[in-house]
Structure 1
């Protein structure tokens, strides 16, 4: 552990050992193959469920573990520490499942959450569109009322787990007045991917290659009205609310990823001989690594503060944006130096392949969940509140 922390108790440390044991035996040995194939076997989700990695915060009455948010943090950090993206359980557990828990009817919770927890059902959320990225106000996918059903039309892209998921939360414009304050009328509809009119394919990518990513097109896809999550037309408000915890989750992952990369880089610099001793003996190397170590230390303190607040039921969306911005930008700097400071080994052989993959993976993390530019804009728009 690079930094001293006080947020976990004995129970969380025991869970960490349990999660680490599963990942080291059932995921790490196969992850490179999954990345090369750009596909993760579906059975690993069942195994993850059986070993307690899924839906730690979902109440036991819906098949979950009834744990606190810190339990989710333990799982997220264990994945990032091992550079695992092929089975990014936080997408299922901490981003998709909470929509159902908080917005779903009792019937919806009983229908979907138990299978989310055991890994029998894989979920995703579809917001991003080809023409507008993740700008929710610019969505063009529609959910038109037709009797007791909705008819979905439109295209969603870069959806994590998109081409493998069994059910997808689709954000779509609905034909009603919408929320107050002139917010767009967006509804959230649970769409099972087996429904007629659903067309999807996997997207090949350089960053996070083991993570399934897909594009989905809906052509007159009929979904029953009972699949509506929450109130019709209130989706914009819901998404803005849930984006805060999503960005905190991504910040937690990025921070743990950054600490792993920095630890490995310091070790490699210390172990790489030069005429002056090692690469770490050069003042420029020490200055650069000291700066990044300091950034990581400050980021760690702030993110842990955000984690404690979220665990107490008081997450702050603006703080989550700041956490994601700082963690992902620091991660990108570390990954870039990981190539430079390793010299030829940073671009060749197994070490070069890993260093270049770290670069690509770090770029993904500064984009998903809202780019760094979007984070800056969200933070900037709220600056007047500090006056």
Structure 2
């Protein structure tokens, strides 16, 4: 939809390969996954075999050693094919980097090849019932007990939460407080351990993407399961969450472009006594405004993507990217219902338009709500002058 200079011919070939895999192996089944409220584990293994998981990992750990642009292409194609049940970037670009950068060699060899192959499903557990993803209100604890840690607490609305084999759990530590922030540790918890209870959460948006609650009751894990240093979790999260939010912004931007293309096509095909919907000035103005928003967002995101690979990425940029793209997506999804008239609320088209609106609403919540992002941007402004 927009001219881009970010990718080379090798990336274009990779995009075609990803699109072909999704069209042949995933999209024919995705509606059934939505209806069943779950994605089969076999689909993750298929994605791993096709090279769609943890592609940026070094070959020694099961990856292809590629740069972040390959990951961006996968994320964009998932959005364009309206696939959310197989949210590969959760494994590849959110969980795997924590283990790669913070893990010991033993931790990396034990987990990363399985994550890359889709044989080990992983999750990141931050959000809690009483405080969302606010780190300062976290109540999950990791109490020392000799060479072990005893975990107690509840994590909720965790992507892959009820199906994950291993979860990175953020918990209050007895060490490492920083100013008014509690010391936090990031701990690898195998979900087969005693004291771990997983359950799925029913939701209306992105229904095929597993979302779960994880309760930890006197769950004992060896101290060797800590990622990085004990009590250093807050520092690590401030570094890693920026990339997570950029990943979600890339997905939201590609969703916006797909919805905009579909809506323009449907408006052009929908006739009124005075021509198509596009022959009317008000719909044209509304679409032009959102087209402009998409164009600006696309330019901003394409500036951010290379910075990840160069290690110069600013977490504030990720907040801006996610805030803008998800706001544009919600406006587009709402307009998609309105401009289709009765077709926006009935029949197959109405079901799709209504689901797009629900799915868009999820995207302004996960990875930090829009309100949290605004607050983070606002707090950072003085230091950024």
CA distance in 2, matches of 1:353, 1:104: 44
| C-alpha displacement of 1:223 | 0.8
CA distance in 2, matches of 1:234, 1:386: 24
Q: 2:232 aligns with which of 220, 231, 234?
A: 234
For residues 145-164 of structure 1, the aligned pairs below 5 Å read: 145-164=144-163
User: Is 1:212 the equivalent of 2:210?
Assistant: yes
User: Is 1:47 the equivalent of 2:49?
Assistant: no
CA distance in 1, matches of 2:158, 2:308: 25
Contact 1:345–1:352 (CA<8 Å) still a contact in 2? Answer: yes
Using structure 2 for the length normalisation, give the TM-score: 0.99
- Give the corresponding residue for 2:172: 173
Cα deviation digits, residues 175-196 of structure 1 (max 9, x gap): 22x1443431100100000001
For residues 317-336 of structure 1, the aligned pairs below 5 Å read: 317-336=315-334
Using structure 1 for the length normalisation, give the TM-score: 0.98
For residues 95-244 of structure 1, the aligned pairs below 5 Å read: 95-176=94-175, 178-244=176-242
Contact 1:187–1:232 (CA<8 Å) still a contact in 2? Answer: yes
| C-alpha displacement of 1:308 | 1.9
Contact 1:56–1:67 (CA<8 Å) still a contact in 2? Answer: yes
Contact 1:179–1:237 (CA<8 Å) still a contact in 2? Answer: no
CA distance in 1, matches of 2:129, 2:81: 32
Cα deviation digits, residues 51-107 of structure 1 (max 9, x gap): 010001111111111000000001000001111110000000000000000000111
Q: Give ranges in structure 2 of 5+ residues lacking alignment.
A: none
Contact 1:190–1:229 (CA<8 Å) still a contact in 2? Answer: yes
| C-alpha displacement of 1:385 | 2.7
SS in 1 for 2:229: coil
SS in 1 for 2:265: helix
For residues 228-307 of structure 1, the aligned pairs below 5 Å read: 228-307=226-305
Q: 2:363 aligns with which of 365, 368, 387?
A: 365
Q: Give ranges in structure 1 of 5+ residues lacking alignment.
A: none
TM-align CA RMSD: 0.8
- Give the corresponding residue for 1:26: 25
Q: 1:343 to 1:55 in 2, by over 3 A?
A: same
CA distance in 1, matches of 2:31, 2:247: 24
Cα deviation digits, residues 313-368 of structure 1 (max 9, x gap): 21110011000000000000000000000001100111000001000000000000
